[in-house]
Amino acid sequence: MLTRKQHELICFISDRLAETGVSPSFEEMKDALDLKSKSGVHRLISALEERQFLRRLPNRARALEVLRMPERGDVKKANAKTLSQVSPSSTSRNTPPSPANDVIEIPLHGRIAAGMPVEAMEGATMLPVPAALLGSGDHYALEVAGDSMVDAGILDGDYALIRRQDEAREGEIVVALIDDHEATLKYFRHEGAMVRLDPANRSHDPQRYRPDQVRVQGRLAGLLRRY
């Protein structure tokens, strides 16, 4: 079942595609839905993707395809006014969507150690990220401090783009919260009854913890590097 904002967004996208054949930009969607930031648009699109109403076309940040429109029973608060009621529509011109360099803003939660754990910092800073770097789901960013993941191509000063989740598969690079206080970026593995957090640097040793000491806060989805 869709929320009112999800319903408004898919109607707005569908009408714009019918008018021009081109998906609206994240800025246009943000303004149309009266949202404070483009990260809200990204979350709505990700939710519509997961429910198979929308599909992002590969290698095109702005290209969206409407797979199906919601039925009356799919929408919460169905009596709310939707954008489809205020947006003009016309016959589709069947023009393929064109690529664009849209960016979205995701929360930047301070620095995270790629070496020994450091205190996890929370902040309200937003980081602009090319939309093409992110898939579905909710994301945040952490600035990498340290060199223990250099052999995985993760360098000091990089921005790790993290997909929020609380479970990890063997061998995934995750943000692990230790004793609800300190966070680190490492490979996640099991060793007997223990959780082992492995670095990607031979000069650093693995870290071993009891399972109750470790909480997965997300997995690595991408990297952003500034030169």
Query: What structural domains and CATH numbers belong to the chain?
Result: 4-85 (1.10.10.10), 103-224 (2.10.109.10)
Check residues 36 and 155 and name the one with the higher pLDDT.
155
Among residues 81, 84, 148, 203, the one annotated as catalytic is 148
Which range, of 63-67, 89-93, 140-144, 167-171, averages the lowest pLDDT?
89-93
Tell me: pLDDT of 61 over 70: no
pLDDT tens, residue by residue, 123-163: 558 888 887 777 778 888 999 988 999 999 999 999 999 99
Which range, of 50-64, 133-147, 178-192, 206-220, averages the lowest pLDDT?
50-64
pTM of the prediction? 0.57
Tell me: pLDDT of 204 over 70: yes
Tell me: pLDDT of 100 over 60: no
Tell me: pLDDT of 181 over 70: yes
pLDDT computed for residue 84 by the predictor: 40
Average pLDDT, the chain: 79
Whole-number Å distance between alpha carbons of 56 and 15: 17
Among residues 14, 98, 186, 203, the one annotated as catalytic is 186
Q: Is 203 a catalytic residue?
A: no
Q: Are strands 64-66 and 54-56 parallel, antiparallel or unpaired?
A: antiparallel
Q: Is 84 a catalytic residue?
A: no
* Beta pairing partners, 78: none
Check residues 57 and 92 and name the one with the higher pLDDT.
57
pLDDT computed for residue 133 by the predictor: 77
For residue 119, what are the CA distances in angstroms to 53, 145, 179, 220?
A: 40, 12, 11, 19
